[in-house]
Amino acid sequence: MSAALALRRGGFDGAIAIVDSDPREPYERPPLSKTLLSNHASLLKPIVDPATYREEGIDLLGGLGVCGLDSGAHRVLLDDGTALDADRVLLATGVAARDLNLVSGPRPNVLRLRTADDAGALATWLARGGPLVIVGGGFIGLELAAEARRAGIDTTVVEMAPLPLYGPAGPAIGQLVRELHEANGVRFHLSTTVAAMNSTHTSREVHEVVLNDGTRLPAAVVVVGVGVIPRDELARSAGVATDGGIVVDEYGRTENPWLWAAGDVASQPHPHLQTRGRIEHWDVALRHGEAVGLSMAGQLTALDAPPYFWSDQYDQTLQSFGRSRPGDTFVLRRDATPARFLGFWLRDSQVAAVMGLDCPREVRAGKQLIESGVTITANELADPDTDLRAISRRGALAKPRTEISQGISGQPADRHAGSPRST
Ligand SMILES: Cc1cc2nc3c(=O)[nH]c(=O)nc-3n(C[C@H](O)[C@H](O)[C@H](O)COP(=O)(O)OP(=O)(O)OC[C@H]3O[C@@H](n4cnc5c(N)ncnc54)[C@H](O)[C@@H]3O)c2cc1C
């Protein structure tokens, strides 16, 4: 959607069709893991006002899958047997939730969470109560654990790393997040994974999850949140390079001038990444789509803003700008508690990334530090009395800020500041 709108803003006045195999009008995914039990009414939040499609001259072809690309004839093949002629194609096919492949055949109470249908099925199962076993202590698993605990459901999280969020946040924040969830009644089984899921002979429903260390967990519902696989099959079949995502340049161009890619599926050379890669954040999808849409309209635009994401868990909001790398020095501010904390990743005495729970102002200041490139010490960052804004202003004089246009949304940390549950 953001690419389509940016194409129009960039002056493209030809036909635009959005083809999506999901039959629903495009909706936001973040509420699916945050409000599926507490606010069912707001679960299906449309990405844009429905009138936008008509006003912007965008044809929405919902419930239709693209099954092939004919690069020679410039035709997009649809799974109802028809085809669309296209001068340019943007692949914004996202990712699919990864499976554990532990059971043969479908198990009705073993679910994943990517689509509105997934959320609907999960809400129906959870309405019957727990115990709920969540495999995967990443963002989606933890948001779901928080939702389930708020509804009083017995919840256990199984995670193969030593702590939840260990990969994206590291051990210190992982420990605080663990304590936040344990205080809310979540049980963790860490550094272990699932060996088997047992079902009764009479039904295909799983009633027990067996872990590698021999622990047996009773289960009424199992949710698998163990990461994603990119939906890059169309690009691969069209002979376009993929490396765990569709390889694009800074403007979203693949090596085939007919094909472009944006969002979760695109492997992009973002300046905040150590090497090219995919970034699976809502705000990045929106801004990358926008930049690639403008580029497709002829206004070459690169996305270079520090990647932003947020995650709502209980009444708290975790926010982050930038990307850490191996070798960065992590600094936790000294006043950290499981309910409110702020951490920084320092690289060459400059802030490379910031992450905070319920600290929207400080996270925004951290973003300014990243953009200003000012040098700062670990001691200054650890001190809750340090005026981060004043220090970033010092650096702003030395280095101009790098930021792309405001686009179709405002600054993300402002959007979430003060309203932790807004998405
Ligand atoms: C439950 C959940 C919660 C999330 N919460 C957060 C959050 O709190 N913060 C955050 O930063 N990010 C969050 N995200 C991530 C964010 O939603 C994604 O980064 C964003 O949706 C990516 O957008 P996209 O357009 O690239 O891909 P998607 O949103 O995945 O859209 C891809 C679309 O392509 C369609 N498609 C795929 N293949 C085909 C085909 N062959 N033919 C036709 N259509 C096809 C799919 O049906 C889908 O609608 C969350 C994601 C999920 C699933």
CATH classification of the domain holding 151: 3.50.50.60
Task: Based on the fold, state whether residues 243 and 386 are members of the same structural domain.
Answer: no
Q: Does the CB atom of residue 232 touch ligand 1 within 6 A?
A: no
Instruction: Tell me: do 167 and 129 sit in the same domain.
Output: yes
**Most ligand 1 atoms within 8 A of CB, residue of 28, 29, 112, 408 to mutate:** 29
Answer yes or no: do 203 and 251 share one domain.
no
Same domain, 290 and 313: no
Model pLDDT, residue 42: 73
Domain with residue 382: its CATH number is 3.30.390.30
HSE, side-chain direction, 13 A CA sphere, residue 373: 7
28 part of a folded domain: no
Q: Residue 301 domain-assigned?
A: no
CA gyration radius, the chain: 22
Whose CA is closest to 305, among 167, 171, 166, 411? 411
Q: Domain for residue 56, yes or no?
A: no
317 touches ligand 1 (CB under 6 Å): no
Q: 392-407, pLDDT tens digit by residue?
A: 887 666 555 443 333 3
195 and 277 together in one domain = no
153 and 210 both lie in a single domain: yes
Ligand 1 neighbourhood includes 19 CB (under 6 angstroms): yes
Tell me the average pLDDT across 163-187: 98
CA gap 380, 83 in Å, rounded: 60
Do both 81 and 174 map to the same domain?
no
pLDDT top residue among 371 and 415? 371
In a domain, 245, yes or no: yes
Phi, psi of 239 (to 5 degrees): 80, 15
Per-residue pLDDT tens over the stretch 320-350: 999 999 999 999 999 999 999 999 999 999 9
280 lines ligand 1 (CB under 6 A): yes
What mean pLDDT is predicted for residues 196-206? 87
pTM of the model: 0.93
Overall domain count for the chain: 3
Please tell me whether residues 214 and 322 are part of one structural domain. no
90 lines ligand 1 (CB under 6 A): no
Mean pLDDT computed over every residue of the chain: 92
pLDDT band at 19 (very low <50, low <70, confident <90, very high): very high
| CB-ligand 1 contact for 281 (6 Å cutoff) | yes
Nearest CA to ligand 1 atom 18: 282
Distance (Å) from CA 339 to ligand 1 centroid: 29
pLDDT at 409: 36
Closest residue CA from atom 37 of ligand 1: 93
Same domain assignment for residues 118 and 222: yes
Q: What is the pLDDT of residue 399?
A: 55
Q: Please identify, among 178, 196, 226, the residue that sits at the C-terminal boundary of a domain.
A: 226
Claim to verify: residue 312 and residue 392 sit in the same structural domain: yes
231 CB under 6 A from ligand 1?
yes
Q: Is the CB of 282 under 6 A from ligand 1?
A: yes
Give the range of the structural domain holding residue 70, as residue numbers without chain letter: 2-21+63-95+229-296
Which amino acid does the sequence have at 248? V
Domain for residue 44, yes or no? no
Last residue of a domain, one of 268, 296, 324: 296
Per-residue pLDDT for 256 more than 80? yes
The verdict on residue 101 lying in a domain is no
The residue whose CA has the least distance to atom 31 of ligand 1 is: 94
Residue 252 reports pLDDT greater than 50: yes
The pLDDT value recorded for residue 174 is 98
d(C-alpha 83, C-alpha 60), whole Å:
15
